């Protein structure tokens, strides 16, 4: 239940209560998982605004340290790793939460049909959803999921899934139907985030440009991109095999009555330690849960010239 459904004193009490977050995970190609889930759980709890549960698949799967196109040391490729196994009993009770945060990744096995339906109903009915980094690689054949995340990558995504969406160097928003793969990134580096919607509750008060800690700059994502607002872009530099475009980095998507926050950030633990990552995750998750943001922008927020990190204990 959200505060807007209540009146008078009850609404004030409800708004002061902690928001209930469910982190869903269990199958991620990143070796920083499951540490990344524990980092997000700590950030949510330390903010004082959220309480957190985790719903993990019974069959867990973690990828290798190597990118898919590099051979493993024994001559196999990443594609030769065993497939993640579908968990027929995976059925988190989404309705008990204000917002669901996905820390699944590339190649995650499909959820059971009933669980997919339950998430769609939860979000359509006004629940919040947050997709972090490789969670936009998951579930390429689930149409409502692609609709919820707006844009995704890998998993066979191509022009069949929707356009490329980006800002060009003249600041024009482009939807590009050119055929081609969805999802790419060059080597990790620090990159500039540029705010495109300064009046949105999530971004309000942030510097227009801020430097993000070392991370993967996703580019060439594709998807239906319906009812999607690009809050901020990341410049994808040709110096790092990028597109010379300003790629969507922080987005919101409306899905019936539900709100989705999408961040492409979060490849490694040092990326999760970025103050820009932490603050946008907290504010984006609060917005997905309530439509408003009360979490402040801290003193140690990054600037245009300095990325900031909080070392995770
Ligand atoms: Zn990554």
Report the separation in Å between the CA atom of 267 and the middle of ligand 1, taken as the mean of its atom positions.
4
Q: Report pLDDT for 102.
A: 98
Report the separation in Å between the CA atom of 190 and the middle of ligand 1, taken as the mean of its atom positions.
14
State how far the Cα of 86 lies from the Cα of 97, in Å rounded to an integer: 24
Q: Which residues contact 220 (CB under 8 A, 6 or more apart)?
A: 153, 164, 180, 181, 182, 183, 184, 243, 247
| Tens digit of each residue's pLDDT (9 = 90 or more) over 25-42 | 999 999 899 999 999 999
Report the separation in Å between the CA atom of 133 and the middle of ligand 1, taken as the mean of its atom positions.
7
Cα dihedral 117, 123, 127, 131 in deg (nearest 10): 100
State how far the Cα of 125 lies from the Cα of 226, in Å rounded to an integer: 18
Name the band, by pLDDT with cuts 50, 70 and 90, for residue 232: very high
Q: Which residues pair with 195 in a beta bridge?
A: 232
DSSP secondary structure string for all residues of 269-287: HHHHTBHHHHHHHHHHHHH
Report the separation in Å between the CA atom of 280 and the middle of ligand 1, taken as the mean of its atom positions.
18
Report the separation in Å between the CA atom of 215 and the middle of ligand 1, taken as the mean of its atom positions.
8
Mean pLDDT across the chain: 92
The answer to which of 5-14, 181-190, 261-270 has the lowest mean pLDDT is 5-14
| Tens digit of each residue's pLDDT (9 = 90 or more) over 139-164 | 999 999 999 999 999 999 999 999 99
Q: Report pLDDT for 31.
A: 87
| Tens digit of each residue's pLDDT (9 = 90 or more) over 267-288 | 999 999 999 999 999 999 999 9
In three-state secondary structure terms, 54 is: strand
Q: What stretches of 169-225 show up as alpha helix (H) in DSSP?
A: none
Percent of the chain's residues with pLDDT above 70: 89
Report the separation in Å between the CA atom of 143 and the middle of ligand 1, taken as the mean of its atom positions.
23
Q: Report pLDDT for 3.
A: 44
Q: Which residues contact 252 (CB under 8 A, 6 or more apart)?
A: 200, 202, 228, 229, 231, 259, 260, 261, 262, 284, 287
Question: Hey, what are 161's tokens?
Answer: 């899934």
Burial class (CB in 10 A: 0-12, 13-18, 19+), 199: exposed
Q: Are the C-beta atoms of 75 and 66 separated by less than 8 Å?
A: no
Report the separation in Å between the CA atom of 270 and the middle of ligand 1, taken as the mean of its atom positions.
12
| Tens digit of each residue's pLDDT (9 = 90 or more) over 76-127 | 666 666 789 999 999 999 999 999 999 999 999 999 999 999 999 999 999 9
First to last CA, the chain: 35
Question: Hey, what are 255's tokens?
Answer: 């899905």
pLDDT at residue 293 is higher than 70: yes
Question: Hey, what are 304's tokens?
Answer: 């245009």
Burial class (CB in 10 A: 0-12, 13-18, 19+), 63: buried
pLDDT at residue 252 is higher than 80: yes
| Tens digit of each residue's pLDDT (9 = 90 or more) over 175-222 | 999 999 999 999 999 999 999 999 999 999 999 999 999 999 999 999
| Tens digit of each residue's pLDDT (9 = 90 or more) over 42-77 | 999 999 999 999 999 999 988 765 544 445 556 666
Report the separation in Å between the CA atom of 30 and the middle of ligand 1, taken as the mean of its atom positions.
6
Report the separation in Å between the CA atom of 5 and the middle of ligand 1, taken as the mean of its atom positions.
39
Beta strands 128-132 and 164-167 are: unpaired
Q: Report pLDDT for 171.
A: 97
Q: Is the pTM for the entire model greater than 0.85?
A: yes
Report the separation in Å between the CA atom of 29 and the middle of ligand 1, taken as the mean of its atom positions.
8
Report the separation in Å between the CA atom of 18 and the middle of ligand 1, taken as the mean of its atom positions.
30
Segments of 126-182 assigned E as strands:
128-132, 164-167, 173-176
Report the separation in Å between the CA atom of 257 and the middle of ligand 1, taken as the mean of its atom positions.
30
| Cβ-based neighbour number of residue 283 at 10 Å | 26
pLDDT at residue 11 is higher than 60: no
Report the separation in Å between the CA atom of 10 and the middle of ligand 1, taken as the mean of its atom positions.
42
Report the separation in Å between the CA atom of 168 and the middle of ligand 1, taken as the mean of its atom positions.
24
Report the separation in Å between the CA atom of 4 and the middle of ligand 1, taken as the mean of its atom positions.
37
Q: Are the C-beta atoms of 108 and 84 separated by less than 8 Å?
A: yes
Q: Report pLDDT for 75.
A: 64
Report the separation in Å between the CA atom of 134 and the middle of ligand 1, taken as the mean of its atom positions.
6
Report the separation in Å between the CA atom of 217 and the middle of ligand 1, taken as the mean of its atom positions.
9
Report the separation in Å between the CA atom of 222 and the middle of ligand 1, taken as the mean of its atom positions.
17
Q: Report pLDDT for 2.
A: 45
Report the separation in Å between the CA atom of 11 and the middle of ligand 1, taken as the mean of its atom positions.
40
pLDDT at residue 6 is higher than 50: no
């Amino acid at each position: 239940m959200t505060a807007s459904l209540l009146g008078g004193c009850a609404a004030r009490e409800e708004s002061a209560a902690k928001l209930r977050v469910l982190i869903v995970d269990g199958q991620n190609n990143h070796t920083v998982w499951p540490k990344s889930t524990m980092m997000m759980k700590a950030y949510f709890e330390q903010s004082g605004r959220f309480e957190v549960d985790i719903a993990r698949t019974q069959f867990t799967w973690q990828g290798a340290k190597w990118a898919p196109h590099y051979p493993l040391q024994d001559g196999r490729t990443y594609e030769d790793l065993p497939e993640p196994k579908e968990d027929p009993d995976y059925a988190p009770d989404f309705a008990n939460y204000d917002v669901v945060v996905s820390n699944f990744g590339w190649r995650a096995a499909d959820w059971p049909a009933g669980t997919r339906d339950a998430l769609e109903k939860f979000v359509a009915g006004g629940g919040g959803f947050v997709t972090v980094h490789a969670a936009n690689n998951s579930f390429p054949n689930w149409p409502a999921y692609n609709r919820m995340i707006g844009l995704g990558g890998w998993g066979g995504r191509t022009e069949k899934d929707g356009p490329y969406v980006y800002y060009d160097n003249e600041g024009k928003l482009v939807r590009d139907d050119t055929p081609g793969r969805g999802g790419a990134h060059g080597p990790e580096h620090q990159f500039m985030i540029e705010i495109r919607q300064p009046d949105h509750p999530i971004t309000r008060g942030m510097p227009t440009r801020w430097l993000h800690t070392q991370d993967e700059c996703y580019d060439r994502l594709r998807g239906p991109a319906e009812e999607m607002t690009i809050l901020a872009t990341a410049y994808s530099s040709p110096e790092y095999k990028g597109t010379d475009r300003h790629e969507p980095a922080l987005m919101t998507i409306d899905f019936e009555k539900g709100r989705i926050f999408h961040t492409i950030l979060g490849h490694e633990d040092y990326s999760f330690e970025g103050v820009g990552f932490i603050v946008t995750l907290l504010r984006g998750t609060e917005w997905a849960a309530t439509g408003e943001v009360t979490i402040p922008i801290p003193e140690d927020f990054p600037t245009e010239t300095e990325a900031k990190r909080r070392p995770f204990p």
